[in-house]
Structure 1
Amino acid sequence: MGRGPSIEGRKNAEDAKRAKVFTKLIREITVATRAGVADPASNARLRAAIDKALSANMTRDTIDRAVKRGSGADGGAHMEELRYEGYGPSGIALIIDCFTDNPVRTVADVRNALTKHGGNLGTSGSVAFQFTRCGELVFATNGDEAAEEKILEAALEAGADDVVNEHGESAVLCAPDHFEAVQQALIDAGLSAVHAGVVMRPNNRVEASGEALETLHILLDKLDALDDVSEVSHNALLPAEAAE
């Protein structure tokens, strides 16, 4: 009878996963600082990146060092923000956002992941038209009409553009510039989002199934595992969502 992974083995795996998350967050803070100013009170993007890092239990010292790098110290000034567009299996549209200090390495890694898993790298603008950049706050409502109504009222009062109820969730949508104000208003209303951020939201979703679905999951995992990749947006309708 085989033995499962040891406690030490599990801890090492968890530590490695945590380190990878921290690497991505540090790069995000660095680039956000470089794109604006080092003061989060005057840099909404930096403020959001720091909030995300704190939610992941990153220490203030680590955050401060990342901000310092983004200000030009410690080699942080040469970090770049890049976006790649392409397709996965079954024509699933992909937008792959990256932070990197070596674009040649990054595009090679992204292209390799795509071509090995039923996809291909496209040109700039080839899939972006299928997405809309917006603020999105997602709440788990599980079909609770009272909860959906409370979220709708609070969202409209906060100046949100729309609320979409689907797959057991309520998604509050707003213009990117209004995201922070809408988020704070919903927090003040006692509502806690399971996910919140400025995202590339697909205008329509494409259902994936069978072998294509399995390959898509592998591809998304491979892209997420790349240190330079910060976020992957796609327009796939996954089985759990389709079953709703």
Structure 2
Amino acid sequence: MSGHSKWAGIKHHKMAQDAKRGQKFTKIIREISIAARQGGPLPENNPRLRKAIEQAHEANMPQDNVKKAVLRGTGELPGVTYEDASYEGYGPGGVAVLVEATTDNKNRTTNELRRLFSQYGGNLGESGCVAWMFIQRGYITLDKTKYEEEKIMTLALDLGVEDFKSDDEETYEITTVPEQVDKIVNSLKEQKIDIVQSEVTMLPKTYIKLAGKEAEQMLGLMNALEDHDDVNNVYANFDIPEEIMEKVSA
């Protein structure tokens, strides 16, 4: 899990940089539109839309942009129609890679992602080739320097979480079934516990250790995929030494 935690921290830093250059706005607008189209325009009844709007607020997106994205999703304003797409493949060393995207042209996105996989020593695979290697879970992290482990562990267990880990040097990690994420986050906030990160994600069932050139290629592939305009999330089951991971956040 520590590999996931480290990459999640780097990804969070990259998202802040993306917001500054506008790329994050584009991805959030697409997510809002497709969430509104699939689940309706009311955030209280649409968890996916609620999460996307929260991301918009965190990125300081103007409220007018949010409203227009919702209206485009419901068809009340004209605009490009986006759809969800998922891609599976292998990175260097046989690492399983799962990509979630939003696109208005699946053929274009498929060709571009195939090129990126090939460029970094991997290959795009068939649907179903690696999805079975991941499990969907709610994932919550807390700042380890702020709270005593016994207090957080007791709170977490009382809330019925699936797993609690304190292996990482900087964070406590909580995993739970996806349906319980909002409930657990709200309960922790009521106890004055600050949340570093909360999301519904895909966690690997097993990990593949990488080092040297393969590790650097894998991190290059992750960065390239996440920088692609159509890509929302990338999941992979690599285990890379921390000193190499640090290079990508420098």
If the TM-score is normalised by the length of the shorter chain, which range does it land in? 0.7 to 0.9
Q: TM-score, normalised by structure 1?
A: 0.86
- Name 2:4's counterpart in structure 1: none
Runs of 4+ with >6 A deviation: none
Task: Report deviation, 1:193.
Answer: 2.2
The one-letter code matched in structure 2 to 1:176 is: P
Work out which of the residue numbers 71, 74, 78 in structure 2 matches 1:71.
74
Supply the distance in 2 between the matched residues of 1:82 and 1:15 (Cα, whole angstroms): 22
Supply the distance in 2 between the matched residues of 1:26 and 1:135 (Cα, whole angstroms): 23
Task: Report deviation, 1:106.
Answer: 0.8
Supply the distance in 2 between the matched residues of 1:74 and 1:114 (Cα, whole angstroms): 36
Unaligned 5+ segments in structure 1 are 1-13
Unaligned 5+ segments in structure 2 are 1-16, 246-250
Supply the distance in 2 between the matched residues of 1:35 and 1:150 (Cα, whole angstroms): 40
- Name 2:141's counterpart in structure 1: 138
Task: Report deviation, 1:105.
Answer: 0.8
Supply the distance in 2 between the matched residues of 1:178 and 1:200 (Cα, whole angstroms): 15
Work out which of the residue numbers 44, 48, 51 in structure 1 matches 2:47.
44
- What pairs with 1:166-177 in structure 2 (closer than 5 Å)? 166-168=167-169, 169-177=171-179
Work out which of the residue numbers 32, 37, 44 in structure 1 matches 2:35.
32
Supply the distance in 2 between the matched residues of 1:198 and 1:212 (Cα, whole angstroms): 28
Change (3 A) 1:77 1:23: closer
The one-letter code matched in structure 2 to 1:23 is: T
Supply the distance in 2 between the matched residues of 1:242 and 1:205 (Cα, whole angstroms): 17
Work out which of the residue numbers 86, 98, 107 in structure 2 matches 1:104.
107
Supply the distance in 1 between the matched residues of 2:217 and 2:20 (Cα, whole angstroms): 22
- Name 1:165's counterpart in structure 2: 166
> Deviations for 1:138-169, whole angstroms, at most 9, x for unmatched residues?
12316x8x622222222222232211222222
Q: Secondary structure at the match of 2:61?
A: coil
CA contact (8 A) 2:86 2:100 kept: yes
- What pairs with 1:1-244 in structure 2 (closer than 5 Å)? 18-76=21-79, 78-141=81-144, 147-168=148-169, 169-240=171-242
Task: Report deviation, 1:181.
Answer: 0.8
> How many aligned residue pairs are there?
228
Q: Secondary structure at the match of 1:84?
A: strand
> Deviations for 1:8-49, whole angstroms, at most 9, x for unmatched residues?
xxxxxx688531111111111111111101000111111111
The one-letter code matched in structure 2 to 1:38 is: P
Report % sequence identity: 36
> Deviations for 1:152-207, whole angstroms, at most 9, x for unmatched residues?
22222223221122222221111111111111111112222222110001122222
Q: TM-score, normalised by structure 2?
A: 0.84
The one-letter code matched in structure 1 to 2:70 is: V
Q: Secondary structure at the match of 2:69?
A: helix
